[in-house]
Amino acid sequence: MSESASQTADINPDDTIKILVASDIHLGFNEKDPIRGDDSFIAFEEVLQHALENEVDALLLGGDLFHVANPSTNTLDRCFRLLKTYTLGDKPIRLEFLSDQNDNFLESLSHTVNYEDPNMNIAIPVFSIHGNHDDSGGAGKVSSMNLLSTNGYVNYFGKWTDLSKIDIRPILLRKGETKLALYGLSYMSDARLCRLLDDAKVFIEKPDEPGFFSIMVLHQNRAERGPKNYLPESSLPQFLDLIIWGHEHDCRIEPEENSAKKFYVSQPGSTVATSLSEGEAIQKCCGLLSIHKGLFRMDPIPLKSVRPFVFESVDLATVQEELALDEGDVQQRVQDFATERIEAMIERAKTKITGYARQPKLPLIRLRLGLTEIEQQFNAIRFGFRYHGRVANPQDMVIFKKKPKVKVKDELGNALDKAALQEAYRNQREQRAQRAEEIVDRYFREADVVNQLEVLNPRSMAELCRRMVDYEDDDAPEKIIKFYEDKALSFLRSQDNTSEEGICEALAGFHTADPDIHEKVLSMLDARSNRQDATDPLQRFRDLDDDGMAGGNDGSSVRGDPPNTTVAAGKPAARGARGGRGSRGGGTARGAASKAASTAGSTRGRSQTSITSMFSQQSTNNSIASVATRTSSRKTATKKARQMDFDSDDE
């Protein structure tokens, strides 16, 4: 429960665990921008300064410390410098470690908490999970968080190592008479997590001893963004006391009680604005969490180093009569109106100057105008030129949102305006269309018969695109194509008829023969570096294959079955419309989606050729080669036209 003012008077500081809580630091965001490139580093340094000034026992991060999983050397160097400056030193650590460190830090080099490593001199231990931006995807599945763990700067925990189930074992700490159980759930796909929850395959182990204050830090969608595209609070176990919720960027750091489960949820939000949305304009904070036995208190600490950001949304329908938008030069009148509002917003931004020495002074301004007619829209980029040197984002200072007017008739023939309903539906479709993997999945599912995939699964192509965009994993196409080639060859070997017609008929039934093949693809991609011997920290280096990827062949989990003392989490509930806390850029989505489509087009012929080569020594060699030639040429001939259609879908 939360502390009251009367209860805090007799609290012994020697029995109080003090933790500074922050999330979504996004180091390296926009680092090449000469104006905004330092914002994330300045804010993170202030967080570290607060940890030092408040003499905290630990710093807890809720994921997305980095903006990308493989940040630039400049970003890594600046991060290392900050952590070395503020977290290393001779200050004694008063947190006693109680749990099995081999279980808590399976991925670390020493398998121990960093302040018990004799080679490190830690003053403030940092505990962190990974988020969707610093997820360990890509070649080798080594992310920036792994580098921080290897170098001893961060205690990286909560990384799932088995896709078939999640077994969460707490970090058990004690200071005086206060005992803390810290649970970590690093980011994974919301859909996958919901499936595991539905199947009761999420196990959260309770401590054997009573009296532990239980905290879980996680990094998932909290807002409803579609069915199985968020983590309902009701799916978390009731024995937890406090949830530190990362990923959502709007700051709601004051603990909010869940009326059903009776635990509290604190959402720190981000320390830097990565998308110019309304939620990002809320005051940025970190929090000082104090825990005394079964009591806790969260004190918000406003960040003074954050760049001023003012957001405003105006529906022009509400000022249509005032601006006389039904006559004359409508575009010029809207532009004059925008100029007036921008000037007022710049003045409001001046009130957010805190006096912090390193706070950026040029403000972020975002004016969203809801249009009723397309004629009201003006050139926002040209409009922003006049504000160079006055705002930090002149190129995207003004955005437009067209409100559709959809008229339908009721049973009596009266016209009904359902613009709001249609707008919500369109917004949902637009948000989904911005995602590269959604574009790829939609394209292949809606393709005509001639362009349908014969071997590859459309969902696997969407996964390929997601890994290229999110993780910049250029090895994913080769892995997925090779996987399907091997599966197709094995499937054809089991067929009796190897004639030309037999191969074509067999390939037509390849998808239905193994309906779970896409799940096997995901397991293949994610399990390559998860297999390692927990008793030997050097085993993963001995298991490196020719591609430099750590892996094995048995597909087994690194842990055994969960003990009988575990608690299965509940099932998710409720649905919602997909919304967005920012989306990927359209250009990136189009580029990656086009590359995925081109990859599919060029490899389909190659897959067919590889399949026919398996039977090259048989009597049907000539007929099979003929099938391969015709299939390859047909796919090549349609690839360019398919690419053009694909690009037009993204528009």
Q: What is the pLDDT at residue 304?
A: 96
Residue 580 confidence class, pLDDT cut points 50, 70, 90:
very low
629 domain residue, yes or no: no
Res. 411: pLDDT tops 50: no
What's the CA gap between 317 and 329, in Å, rounded?
Answer: 17
The number of folded domains in the chain is 3
pLDDT at position 452, please?
72
pLDDT at 396: 92
- State the pLDDT at residue 434: 56
pLDDT at 40: 97
Terminal Cα distance for the chain, rounded = 51
Of the residues 283, 302, 321, the one at which a domain ends:
302
Instruction: Tell which wins on pLDDT, 175 or 456.
Output: 175
Neighbours of 223 (CB within 10 A): 15
Flag whether pLDDT at 565 surpasses 60: no
For residues 335 and 423, membership in a common domain is answered with no
pLDDT (tens digit, 9 = 90+) per residue, 608-621? 444 444 434 343 34
Report if residue 85 sits inside a domain: yes
Q: What is the mean pLDDT of residues 124-134?
A: 93
Cβ atoms 152, 117 nearer than 8 A? yes
Cα-based torsion angle of the residue sequence 221, 224, 228, 230 in order, rounded to the nearest 10 degrees: 10
Cβ(53)–Cβ(18) below 8 Å: no
Report how far Cα 484 is from the mean position of its chain's Cα atoms.
27
Residue 129 contacts by C-beta under 8 Å, 6 or more apart in sequence? 61, 62, 63, 156, 157, 158, 159, 184, 185, 186, 187, 217, 218, 219, 246
**Token code pair at residue 570:** 């509940």
Residues 83 and 195 in one domain: yes
Mean pLDDT for 278-299 is: 95
Classify residue 236: in a domain, yes or no. Answer: yes
Looking at residue 490, its pLDDT comes to 81
The model's pLDDT over 17-68, given as tens digits with 9 standing for 90+, comes to 999 999 999 999 999 999 999 999 999 999 999 999 999 999 999 999 999 9
Q: Range with the lowest mean pLDDT among 41-45, 69-73, 545-549?
A: 545-549
Cα 149 from Cα 579, distance rounded (Å): 34
Name the least confident of 73-87, 105-119, 401-415.
401-415
Report CA-CA distances (Å) from 135 to 64, 154, 518, 557, 642.
8, 15, 21, 20, 33
Average pLDDT, the chain: 77
235 and 159 both lie in a single domain: yes
CA dihedral 462→463→465→471, nearest 10 degrees, is 160
Rounded to an integer, the average pLDDT of 182-211 is 90
Q: pLDDT at residue 544 above 50?
A: no
pLDDT at 82 > cutoff 90: yes
Q: Residue 393 is part of which domain span?
A: 309-402
CB 445 within 8 A of CB 462: no
Within-domain flag for 29: yes
Q: In the 3-class helix/strand/coil scheme, how is 580-626 assigned residue by residue?
A: CCCCCCHHHHHHHHHHHHHHHHHHHHHHHHHHHHHCCCCCCHHHHHH
129 and 214 assigned to the same domain: yes
Is 272 a residue whose pLDDT tops 50?
A: yes
Residue where the block lists tokens 């709007």? 250
Same domain, 230 and 109: yes
Res 556 pLDDT > 60: no
DSSP 73: H
Q: Are residues 202 and 114 in the same domain?
A: yes
Provide the percentage of residues in the chain whose pLDDT is more than 70: 70
The larger pLDDT score, comparing residue 108 to residue 650, is at: 108
Give me the pLDDT at residue 435, please.
65
Mean pLDDT of 493-522: 72
pLDDT at 7: 53
Report the CATH number that the domain containing residue 205 is assigned in CATH.
3.60.21.10
What is the model's pLDDT at position 644? 37
Least confident of 95-99, 222-226, 269-273: 222-226
pLDDT band at 592 (very low <50, low <70, confident <90, very high): low
Q: Do 325 and 347 lie in a common domain?
A: yes
Q: Is the same domain home to 362 and 493?
A: no
Asked if residue 581 belongs to a domain, the reply is: no
Q: What is the pLDDT of residue 494?
A: 77
137 and 244 both lie in a single domain: yes
Task: Categorize the per-residue pLDDT at 527 as very low, low, confident or very high, splitting at 50, 70 and 90.
Answer: low
Q: Please indicate, yes or no, whether residues 331 and 362 belong to a single structural domain of this protein.
A: yes
What is the pLDDT at residue 340? 95
Is position 606 within any domain? no
Q: Which of 5, 40, 36 is nearest to 26 (CA)?
A: 40
Choosing from 302, 322, 354, the residue where a domain stops is 302
What pLDDT shows up at residue 405? Answer: 53
Q: Is residue 236 within 8 Å of 220, Cβ to Cβ?
A: no
pLDDT at 101: 84
Answer yes or no: do 313 and 298 share one domain: no
Q: Cβ–Cβ contacts within 10 Å for residue 357, how many?
A: 7
**Higher-scoring residue by pLDDT: 475, 418:** 475
pLDDT band, very low/low/confident/very high, at 599 (cuts 50, 70, 90): low
Give 318-338 pLDDT, tens digit per residue: 888 888 887 778 899 999 999
Residues whose CB falls within 8 Å of the CB of residue 406, separated by 6 or more in sequence, listed in order: 417, 418, 419, 421, 422
In this prediction, residue 598 has a pLDDT band, given cuts at 50, 70 and 90, of low
Rg over alpha carbons for the chain, rounded to the nearest Å, is 28
| Arithmetic mean of pLDDT, 351-365 | 95
Question: Residue 559 has what pLDDT?
Answer: 34
Choose the weakest-confidence range: 3-17, 286-300, 510-524, 574-588: 574-588
Final residue belonging to a domain, choices 491, 511, 531: 511
Instruction: Read off the pLDDT band of 474 (50, 70, 90).
Output: confident
Higher pLDDT, 410 or 338: 338
Residue 590 within any structural domain of the chain: no
Active site residue: 26, 133, 247, 292, which one?
Answer: 133
Residue type present at position 396: D
pLDDT at residue 170 greater than cutoff 80: yes
Q: Across residues 447-471, what is the average pLDDT?
A: 75
Does 572 map to a domain? no
**Residues paired with residue 203 on neighbouring β-strands, in sequence order:** 167, 568
- The CA-CA-CA angle for residues 250, 252, 253, to 5°, reads 125
Whether 333 and 479 share a structural domain: no
Is 177 strand, coil or helix?
coil
Q: Which of 62-66, 70-74, 457-461, 534-538 has the least mean pLDDT? A: 534-538
Quick: pLDDT tens for 112-124: 899 998 889 999 9
Backbone angles phi, psi at 61, to 5 degrees: -115, 140
The verdict on whether 247 is a catalytic residue reads no
**CATH number of the domain to which 360 belongs:** 3.30.110.110
Across 148-161, average pLDDT? 89
Give residue 594's pLDDT.
Answer: 54
